[in-house]
Amino acid sequence: MAKKLSEFPSVPLCHQPTPLEFMPRMSESLGGPRLWIKRDDCTGLATGGNKTRKLEFLIADAIEKGADMVVTQGAVQSNHVRQTAAAACKFGLDCHALLERRVPDRANDYETTGNVLFDQMFGTSLEFRPAGLDMNAEAMAVTEKLAAAGRKAYFIPGGGSNEIGALGYVSCAYELLEQIKANKLDVGWIVLATGSAGTHAGMLAGLHAAGSTIPVMGVSVRQPEDKQIAAVHKLAVLTAAQLTDTPLGVEKVIVDDGYVGAGYGQPTQGTLDAINLIARREGLLFDPVYSGKGLAGMIGLAGQNFFESDKDVIFLHTGGAAALFAYGNQLAEHAANG
């Protein structure tokens, strides 16, 4: 049965509404369209990021179910794990995380700096795993083992990406529609990086439930187009079904997989160029795993005249600057040469 968003339990973690800012110098650099940025890097929890919105609903569900700890998983430099660990601290829960060594050929400090340092500061117990495993299944098995040992463990999937977590981006979609109206924008596209699918699916579900026809371009950071479309659509359908009886068609899921490069967490030259460009045009910090690849996609599409030049285009900044330190040598070299 369809419910209103306010009927779902949530806890306060997020600074909201996050700002919607015009980017005049980026717009000029790309020769139009009018570029805006939705600042979900400013959600406030442990340097911010998109997972905070999801955790408002996931932590509420954990508390409602009587949990005394949360278990989750991510790549070594996971923004999600960092924000989950901080949210657990805020509500007196323990946090255990599995980190997948997903990114090859990294510097020696990759597993001790950036997000990993923050995980440790928040008292998270960490386990590392080799690349290529079903990490949600691994984390579920650990959750069951902890439960058998007497802990009240609550499992949060990677990225907080299930139909509970995705409600955070339904909330964001509603918020953004209000800001679009207040600023009298004529929005041609919303662009975002798409990975574990929760942000993309929640945004689509929220726009769909609100009756908006604004299209969303998901720039894949890991998977090929067909796999990403299937993952996003599956979760978007589950999320939207909680809010409306109107079915959400697969045609609403649009993905560009042309900016993945060598794989997850491996920035291309275009990613590094995009990070450098927005830093020097707008004073904004983007990460090399998610937002940087998403931005490279938006820049590439603008260069192909994909966007109508007289429309507004909104980029959803999902945060992640904490991971920049783990890529310091690569970024410093590029900045010096840029």
From CA 34, how far away is CA 206, in angstroms rounded? 24
312-317 β-sheet, strand order = 20-22, 34-39, 312-317, 187-194, 216-220, 254-256
| pLDDT of amino acid 112 | 95
From CA 4, how far away is CA 243, in angstroms rounded? 6
From CA 16, how far away is CA 63, in angstroms rounded? 22
Choose, from 10, 78, 171, 212, the residue flagged as catalytic.
78
pTM score above 0.75: yes
| pLDDT of amino acid 200 | 98
Distance of alpha carbon 338 from its chain centroid, rounded?
27
From CA 70, how far away is CA 67, in angstroms rounded? 7
Q: What is the pLDDT along the chain (338 residues), one digit of tens a residue?
A: 688 999 999 999 999 999 999 999 999 999 989 999 999 999 999 999 999 999 999 999 999 999 999 999 999 999 999 999 999 999 999 999 999 999 998 988 999 999 999 999 999 999 999 999 999 999 999 999 999 999 999 999 999 999 999 999 999 999 999 999 999 999 999 999 999 999 999 999 999 999 999 999 999 999 999 999 999 999 999 999 999 999 999 999 999 999 999 999 999 999 999 999 999 999 999 999 999 999 999 999 999 999 999 999 999 999 999 999 999 888 888 778 76
| pLDDT of amino acid 243 | 97
Question: DSSP 3-state assignment of 332?
Answer: helix
Place of tokens 């980029």: 315
Q: Are strands 34-39 and 20-22 parallel, antiparallel or unpaired?
A: antiparallel
From CA 274, how far away is CA 288, in angstroms rounded? 9
CA R_g for the chain? 19
Q: Is 78 a catalytic residue?
A: yes
| pLDDT of amino acid 338 | 66
